Amino acid sequence: MSSTSQVAPLAVLVFLVCATLASGAASVRVGLTRIHADPGIPASQLVRDALRRDMHRSAGRALGASDDGAAATTVSARTRKDQPNGGEYLMTLAIGTPPVAYPAIADTGSDLIWTQCAPCGGQCFRQPAPLYNPASSTTFGVLPCNSSLSMCVGALAGAAPPPGCACMYNQTYGTGWTAGVQGSETFTFGAAAADQARVPGIAFGCSNASSDDWTGSAGLVGLGRGALSLVSQLGAGRFSYCLTPFQDANSTSTLLLGPSAALNGTTGVRSTPFVASPAKAPMSTYYYLNLTGISLGTTALSISPNAFSLNADGSGGLIIDSGTTITSLVDAAYQQVRAAVKSLVTLPAIDGSDSTGLDLCFALPSPTSAPPAMPSMTLHFDGADMVLPAESYMISGSGVWCLAMRSQMDGAMSTLGNYQQQNMHILYDVRKETLSFAPAKCSTL
């Protein structure tokens, strides 16, 4: 996640305490939902707030940077757009026995799975679902400190853990923080009884203190490349999602983890290999892609093919992130995109930095005016072109029409955000180290 979209970890503090607190691989189907923004909130404010979170997330990444088999069944979760001002997509899942359902941000840019837990002594944010209480679940257990999934295992340095050891964490993201104890629980995926899967022994964060930057959710589900992510713990091998349109108030989609995650029968499928991630955290959790160029319509922009290269020291590169809203490009590339868009639009150009956080906007004749036609934008990846219609790189609202991209300092990491992923069916094949995608009407999948 990037900014409030959210979330590359800035830092993780862990410590051992002595405390007493009252698995097989599976494939999972999870629904993704994007809760539409409150109709009373201008689109410009929605974008500004999402961009603010993206920039915090990006800054967090910069500071933090100082034989996988397929599961036997498929796990699914409904997904939706979050509310009221956010730019994230939420997946719904349930935790414990009996299961308690909660919405969580689906984030390919981080690993930890966590939710708020009762009791929460005044340091919890308001959430739309009841707090999960480990004391009320018959399947909760404290994760052993010497577990391979414990965030404290490194602190033990091979020594035996003290009796009653619990691993306490304080994880800081680009847009917030959360703290608690690591536990182990049974998670339930799928809404309909016929399609449900219960998976025991999932390591997660049981947070009893958090910042208030997680509006619309009750936690986060990391889908990154690390051992703690849901993808890794399920041994899923691959996962897919299709993000419904950003301004669609009602539609939902589905996140699939496991064998059923596929693009079979889909037309226009393209595939590109992942670039090997650096070994150092947090970069090790990201899904890097090799972006070699950008075209607007039939015009190839004058961007160096090395503009998005991942450097030996871990700097640079471009990642795909479901938790970041607005795509960021290194400045040399962004300026080319900006100039090309501006050259095609005859509307008055305005600086939308104050109203939207986006620096290239155009004034529409009236708040209800439809934007003019624009050609598609093509992102040229290694072996695959991703074609973005105008509505996936321009955003309108409150009488302005803006380029939904931003500049990133040259040499910094670029991010393909979820706004540019809308109405795209995307498959992450972790075993084959490839990303596949095809245009789709996600609300119908």
Q: What percentage of residues in the chain have a pLDDT greater than 70?
A: 81
Mean pLDDT of the chain: 84
Locate 218 and state its tokens.
């009750």
Alpha carbons 43 and 57: distance in angstroms, whole number: 21
Claim: this prediction has a pTM higher than 0.75: yes
Q: Provide mean pLDDT across the span 282-302.
A: 97
Most confident of 263-267, 300-304, 365-369: 300-304
222-236, 237-251, 284-298, range with the lowest pLDDT = 237-251
DSSP per-residue string spanning 198-240: EEEEEEEEEEEEE-S--TT-SEEEE-SSSTTSHHHHHT-SEEE
Sign of CA dihedral 52, 56, 34, 134: negative
Cα separation values, 293 from 84, 296, 333, 344, 367, Å: 35, 10, 9, 19, 34
Cα atoms found within 13 Å of the Cα of residue 212, Cβ hemisphere only: 4
107 counts as catalytic:
yes
Q: What is the pLDDT of residue 37?
A: 43
pLDDT in tens, 14-43: 666 654 343 333 445 555 555 444 445 555
Domains parsed from the chain with CATH numbers = 11-257 (2.40.70.10), 272-444 (2.40.70.10)
Q: What is the pLDDT of residue 341?
A: 98
Any idea how long the chain is? 445
Q: Which residues pair with 202 in a beta bridge?
A: 185
Q: What is the pLDDT of residue 4?
A: 35
255, 269 Cβ separation under 8 angstroms: no
410 counts as catalytic:
no
Residue 271 vs residue 70, higher pLDDT: 271
- Among 111, 248, 321, 429, which one carries the catalytic annotation? 321
pLDDT in tens, 90-147: 999 999 999 999 999 999 999 999 999 999 877 889 988 899 999 999 999 999 988 9
Q: Which helix (DSSP H) or strand (DSSP E) does residue 396 occupy? A: strand 394-397
Q: What is the pLDDT of residue 47?
A: 56
Residue 321 vs residue 352, higher pLDDT: 321
DSSP per-residue string spanning 24-59: ----EEEEEE-PPPPTTS-HHHHHHHHHHHHHHHHH
Alpha carbons 117 and 50: distance in angstroms, whole number: 26
Angle in degrees, CA 218, 221, 222, rounded to 5: 145
Q: Which helix (DSSP H) or strand (DSSP E) does residue 344 occupy? A: helix 331-344
Q: What is the pLDDT of residue 8?
A: 43
- Among 54, 107, 111, 213, which one carries the catalytic annotation? 107
pLDDT in tens, 336-376: 999 999 999 999 999 887 778 899 999 999 988 999 999 99
Q: What is the pLDDT of residue 174?
A: 72
Residue 1 pLDDT > 80: no
